[in-house]
Amino acid sequence: MDLERVLEKCGNFGPYQILLLGLYGWTNIVSSLHYFSQTIISFTPSHRCSVALNQIPDNYTELTSCSLRVYDADVSSYRETKCNAWDFERESGYESITTELGWVCDDAYKLAVGQSFFFIGSVLGSIFFGYLADRIGRLPACVLTTLTGASGDFFTSFVNNLPCFCLTRFVSGLSTDTQYVLMYILVFEYLSPKHRTFGLNIILGVFYCIGLMISPWMAIYLGSWRSYLWAASLPALGMLSFPVFLHESVEWLLTKGKFDKAVNNLKRIAKFNGRQVEDSVFDEFIKHYREKLKSVEIKSSDTFMGMLRTPRLRKFTIILLIKSMIVTIAFDILSRNVEGVGISPFKLFSFTGFCYLPAGLTIILFQNKIGRKGMACSSLFVGGIITTVTGYLLATLSPEQHSLILAFMVGLGRFGAVVAYDAEAQYAAEIIPTSVRGRGVANIHVVGNGFGFFSSYIIFLGTIFKPLPSMLISVLLFIGAALCLVLPETLNKQLPQTLEEGETFAKGEKWYYFPCFSRRQQNTKSTAQLEDANEFNK
């Protein structure tokens, strides 16, 4: 008797699962506050050079954001004196790290450098905590990674220079993915298959939205980036209670041969759900997995590197790696780049955070209709168009006069980025053969996070030419959409189990094959055949 059948007897959607979904929602709030703290603390308001009246020469021309321009009649040219202090137009008096430490103009690069270390930490954190989860269990690793990220945020609030900022952002980045992924695994395992769509998409969308939408208002209310980081790190302490209410992954316990503990967890879940399960069920369950564990002692020789040895799998793997880089960079930039459009970045960030919910619904409604390939390709292509238009509007329209149009385009771009990110994750998991799926998805995700290192520098290019980040991202999105056409469709197909099956998977399929168009053609053909038959009968 396998785990799914035993869990059905113990209750796969009862009080325990409701509690699990509630704590999963809490995890998503913590995760959103943590990931986007780097955005909230770094908002840079409009500013101009601050010079005392008695220090301004009579022949000065203007005060710019970075210098005092003076016309020198002797040489008939302008002479600029760089600022060492600025007057900032702070919103509601909020003190960001850029306004407090003066990281603008010649020092603007410091913010980009410090934030890039967040993504270096995310790569190493995914590797380390992923290994730790296999060694000590999913639940304790989930608690440890969340507390690590929160401690990074907390210690960031005490920094006053670039080296310390880089170090604390590195620590903060260590938990970027694992705190969410490990909780995702626990929910996926203990929830019935028919309720997983709700649990893993709706709960994610609702609670992640809550975290995003309240975070800017928290920052304004608290008044400074330091206080905000303290407040944003506090909810992570709630993770300390998770081991009291939740149980370790049964599948992990089974792979480690800890059958008694796995059964004990299932019995507790059955009791919590008010179910009575006979001991014979658990005896049969243990017998099944003892035999299964013995049968897999001769492990598959398939490895992730094996995906690079054969031509078709090598092509798929390289494309998935490139797509992961593109989607990760686009997602981060389009989520964070909310300044300079004529509307308060706090309000814009909060309101556009709502897009996570409709983005999740879009995936649920359309992915099974147009196919995985169609969803991935169209989301990237449409996202590229939106981003191109946004870049053009930023270059031609005045933010003061057209703020609503620009804000709408920013929100639309953010929606597209979320859809593309979610679509890419599931598509990659289905293309990679089962024998290397865990390692393959993890490696592709880690590579994507590694290239997120460049997102802070791309955003920094906006200080040189405002539309430049949008222009670069739109090009990348179009490249990603084109690459999707080379990948196979996975909807309604038997997914590959081994590398050998992965090499021949969907062989002969045309690059322009999409299930939605194929069904339409089949229906048209069937209708035509039916009409011919009727005509013949007449």
Does 217 map to a domain? yes
Provide the pLDDT confidence category of residue 525 given band limits of 50, 70 and 90: very low
Do 310 and 349 have their domain in common?
Answer: yes
Tokens for 218, please give them: 């928290």
pLDDT for position 383: 92
Using CA atoms, how far apart are residues 70 and 332, in angstroms rounded to an integer? 40
Within this chain, do residues 81 and 189 fall inside the same structural domain, yes or no? no
- The confidence score (pLDDT) of residue 267 equals 93
Adjacent-strand bridge partners of 252: none
For residues 511 and 513, give the distance between their C-alpha atoms in angstroms, rounded to a whole number. Answer: 6
* pLDDT at position 301: 64
Cβ neighbours of residue 499 closer than 8 Å, sequence gap 6 or more: 302, 306, 307, 310, 313, 433, 435, 436
**In the predicted model, is pLDDT for residue 490 greater than 50?**
yes
Q: Predicted confidence band at 460 (pLDDT cuts at 50, 70, 90)?
A: confident
DSSP letter, residue 66: S
* CATH code for the domain in which residue 461 is found: 1.20.1250.20
Residue 96 within a domain: no
Q: Which of 275, 299, 323 is the last residue of a domain?
A: 299
**Over 80: is that where the pLDDT of 393 sits?**
yes
- CA-to-CA dists, residue 278 to 9, 160, 205, 248, 258, angstroms: 10, 62, 38, 22, 20
Quote the mean pLDDT of the chain. 85
Q: Is the pLDDT of residue 436 over 60?
A: yes
Q: What is the pLDDT of residue 529?
A: 44
83 and 217 inside one domain: no
Which of 280, 299, 318 is the last residue in one of the domains? 299
In a domain, 325, yes or no: yes
**Where residue 479 falls among pLDDT bands split at 50, 70, 90?**
very high
Higher pLDDT, 55 or 345: 345
CA 8 to chain centre: 32
Q: Are residues 311 and 441 in the same domain?
A: yes
Domain hosting 408: range is 306-538
- 377 and 518 share a domain? yes
pLDDT digits (tens, 9 = 90+) for 110-157: 998 998 999 899 889 988 888 888 889 889 999 999 999 999 999 999
pLDDT recorded at residue 536: 41
Examine the domain organization and report whether 251 and 362 are in the same domain. no
Q: Is residue 347 part of a domain?
A: yes
In a domain, 203, yes or no: yes
Tell me whether residue 97 is in a domain.
no
Same domain, 432 and 489: yes
Would you give the distance in Å from CA 382 to the centre of its chain?
A: 19
pLDDT digits (tens, 9 = 90+) for 51-110: 654 555 555 555 667 777 766 656 566 677 778 888 888 888 999 999 999 998 888 899
Rounded CA separation 310/313 (Å): 6
Residue type, 459: I
Task: Encode burial over 169-196: b for 16+ CB neighbours within 10 A, e otherwise.
Answer: bbbbbbbbbbbbbbbbbbbebbbeeeee
Domain edge (last residue) among 299, 324, 342: 299
**Residue 109 domain-assigned (yes or no):** yes
pLDDT of 167 over the 60 cut: yes
Structurally, the chain folds into a number of domains equal to 3
Say yes or no: 15 and 70 in one domain. no
On whether residue 525 sits in a domain, the answer given is yes
Mean pLDDT of 295-300: 52
Q: What is the mean pLDDT of residues 269-273?
A: 94
More confident residue, 160 or 509: 160
Q: Are residues 376 and 396 in the same domain?
A: yes
User: What would the mean pLDDT of 506-520 be, rounded to a whole number?
Assistant: 77
Same domain, 439 and 404: yes
The whole-number pLDDT of residue 146 equals 94
**One domain for residues 133 and 213:** yes
Would you state the pLDDT for residue 497?
A: 79
**Same-domain status, 234 and 111:** yes
